[in-house]
């Protein structure tokens, strides 16, 4: 698979403050890279460097083989983007906004505009002034203008802001579709981890201007050795009392009563038969034992150690 976007050890300083330290990342065609970090970590700055909106202190951005600083027009040609907010000309209609964008590229006819409008489901309101749009509709219009010229790299900064759950689901489907069918490379930044779960193919975690993790999404979740098992029992409180002895001798790392029938136990896999045995010996009925899948969010907080802006 071809690499579309490549950032090589990007650094950015404003005055004495270093905003980015050696940020490197790569997006290949068909990839959806989730760019995750707490507020102020440098997500938007990185995106601005990639798009040539800010000068690069050191490092390189290569898009489709062109250096963004040396050959801006060629590098940006096949890039679509929303930065920060979907800022549109409020006094124009959605359609007029798209027309303005279409004018700046070759060969975008009215059919393509109509097609994109349908894709983002704005057909009914496209001739209304953007000032009458909700934030969610503006997000969709933002995506429409970003994909109008069929870019092979799509960069979206917090695109789910203002979308309702259904809108988020639709956008997720749209982006997956673009990545799979059009082989688009997508970089999507967010602090809303739950939305990126199950939909990004890769994740890049940034904190305090440094990339602290880049990997396949499945890897992140299964990396840590301790797992959480959920026991369905007839008496969770009693079971907790029995097992609390093991908490003290470190066989069990965590215990939590979810409700009268559910008990969450944090243990390594090897200890599961021991726990079952012990509970059976104490006449506790076990209906089910299942592994709890770790969410991206858990992985995220494990990596970043909480949301601290410095």
Partner 1 sequence: MSNLIKNELTKIFKKKTIYITMLLIFLMIVFINCMNKYSNSSTYSAYMYSESYIESLKDELSNLNPEKPSDVTLYINLKSEIDLSNLMEKYKDSDWKLSIINDRISPYITEINTYTYGADKSEEQARKATEEMENIIAKLDENDWKYFANEDLQNANSTIEELNNQKAQTQDTEIIKGLNNEIENAKVEKEIAEYRLEKNIPYGVDYLNIALTRYQTSSETLISYDLDNKELDFEEQKEYNNALTTKEESRYIIETGTDINKSDSLKGSLQYFYSQYGVFIIVVIIMIAGTIVSEEWSKGTIKLLLVKPYTRTQILLSKFLTVLIISAFVIVSTILMQILVGGILFGFGSIFEPVVVYNLSANAIQEINIFAYLGIQTLTQLPIIILLATLAFAISTIFSNSALAITISLLGYMGASIINQLAIAYKLTFMKYFVTMNWDLSQYLFGGLPYMEGMNLITSIIICVVYLLIMLIPTFIIFKKRNIKNI
Is 96 a binder of partner 1 (CB under 8 A)?
yes
Is 104 a binder of partner 1 (CB under 8 A)?
yes
Structure tokens at 83: 């930065």
Structure tokens at 122: 């704005």
CA–CA separation, 241 and 41 (whole Å): 43
* Choice between 25 and 83, CB closer to partner 1: 83
Q: How far is the CB of 36 from partner 1 (least distance, A)?
A: 20
* Choice between 37 and 229, CB closer to partner 1: 37
Question: x/- site string to partner 1, residues 203 to 222, per CB under 8 A?
Answer: --------------------
Instruction: Report 72-91 residues binding partner 1 (CB under 8 A).
Output: 72-74, 76-77, 79, 81, 83-85, 87-91
* Choice between 78 and 172, CB closer to partner 1: 78
Is 152 a binder of partner 1 (CB under 8 A)?
no
Is 11 a binder of partner 1 (CB under 8 A)?
no
Q: How far is the CB of 159 from partner 1 (least distance, A)?
A: 14
| CA–CA distances in Å: residue 19 to residues 208, 278, 304 | 7, 53, 17
* Choice between 77 and 294, CB closer to partner 1: 77
**Cα 82 from chain centroid (whole Å):** 15
CA–CA separation, 6 and 65 (whole Å): 9
| Interacting residues of 236 by C-beta distance below 8 A, sequence separation 6+ | 257, 258, 259, 260, 261, 262, 263
* Choice between 79 and 284, CB closer to partner 1: 79
Q: What residue ranges bind partner 1 (CB under 8 A)?
A: 44, 48, 51-55, 72-74, 76-77, 79, 81, 83-85, 87-92, 96, 100-101, 103-105, 145
């Amino acid at each position: 698979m071809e690499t579309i976007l490549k950032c090589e050890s990007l650094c950015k300083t404003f005055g004495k403050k270093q905003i980015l330290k050696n940020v490197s990342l790569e997006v290949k065609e068909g990839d959806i890279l989730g760019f995750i970090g707490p507020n102020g970590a440098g997500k938007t700055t990185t995106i601005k460097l990639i798009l040539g909106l800010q000068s690069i202190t050191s490092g390189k951005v290569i898009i489709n083989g062109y250096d963004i600083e040396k050959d801006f027009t060629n590098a940006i040609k096949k890039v679509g983007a929303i930065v920060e907010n979907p800022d549109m000309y409020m006094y124009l209609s959605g359609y007029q906004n798209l027309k303005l964008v279409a004018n700046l590229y070759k060969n975008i006819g009215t059919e393509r505009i109509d097609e994109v409008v349908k894709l983002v489901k704005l057909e009914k309101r496209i001739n209304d002034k953007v000032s009458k749009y909700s934030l969610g509709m503006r997000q969709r219009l933002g995506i429409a203008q970003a994909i109008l010229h069929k870019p092979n790299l799509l960069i979206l900064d917090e695109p789910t802001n203002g979308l309702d759950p259904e809108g988020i689901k639709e956008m997720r489907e749209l982006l997956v579709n673009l990545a799979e069918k059009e082989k688009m490379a997508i970089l999507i930044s967010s602090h809303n981890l739950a939305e990126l779960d199950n939909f990004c193919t890769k994740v890049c975690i940034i904190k305090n201007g440094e990339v602290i993790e880049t990997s396949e999404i499945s890897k992140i979740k299964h990396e840590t050795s301790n797992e959480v098992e959920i026991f369905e029992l007839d008496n969770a409180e009693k079971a907790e009392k029995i097992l609390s002895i093991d908490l003290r001798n470190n066989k069990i790392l965590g215990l939590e009563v979810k409700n009268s029938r559910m008990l969450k136990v944090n243990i390594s896999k090897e200890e599961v038969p021991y726990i079952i045995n012990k509970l059976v010996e104490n006449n506790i009925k076990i209906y089910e034992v299942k592994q709890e899948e770790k969410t991206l969010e858990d992985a995220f907080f494990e990596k970043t150690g909480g949301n601290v802006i410095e």
